[in-house]
Amino acid sequence: MALTRIQSEFAYQSSSGGQTYYFSVVVDESGNYGVRNIRTPTGANCSSYESLPQSVIDDINTAIGQVENFMTTTSALNGSETFAAETYKDITFATPLASASYRVNYDKADFIEVRTVNKTTTGFRMEVNVTYTGTIGWDLFI
């Protein structure tokens, strides 16, 4: 059995007007970032930002940025690829890894899907769901 991390979660608290709010920033195995488990000072779960003070929303956005920075600085390998009307890029490692049990997170500015296919010890294929022109960053975690 191979061990693979499929999700990372970072818990935060934010104070506004003497009241404390709690939330989690989550990163899944595809490198998608999300916010969940938002709890108000009364302990109620909050499903949207609409009822939150602006300072808490600002803290949530700051926390997402912190998690993105953390994930980038703790990755084993990283880089970026520029697509020019393409649907995939093959990534080759300078030095082979010990195994292909790694996870790749992606950073993209556009609303597209990216997946990792053909993982080997010497590289992987970054595949997008549309013909794409732009740059996508990647971070590899062992």
Write the DSSP string, 74-134: T-SEEEEEEEEEEEEEEEE-SS--S-S--EEEEEESSS--EEEEEEETTEEEEEEEEEEEE
**What pLDDT is recorded for position 124?**
97
69 and 81: one domain? no
86 and 130: one domain? yes
89 and 113: one domain? yes
Of 73, 95, 110, the last residue of a domain is 73
**What pLDDT is recorded for position 1?**
42
Structural domain count, the chain: 2
Tens digits of per-residue pLDDT, 42-88?
A: 888 887 788 899 999 999 999 999 988 887 777 678 899 999 999 99
Q: Note whether residue 1 is domain-resident.
A: no
Statement: residue 116 has pLDDT above 60: yes
CA 29 to chain centre: 8
Token pair listed for 44: 């109620």
Token pair listed for 138: 């990647």
45 and 67: one domain? yes
Q: Note whether residue 2 is domain-resident.
A: no
- The domain in which residue 135 lies consists of 77-141
> What's the mean per-residue pLDDT of the chain?
89
What average pLDDT does this structure show over 21-39? Answer: 88
C-alpha 6/C-alpha 87 separation (Å) is 24
Token pair listed for 70: 């953390």
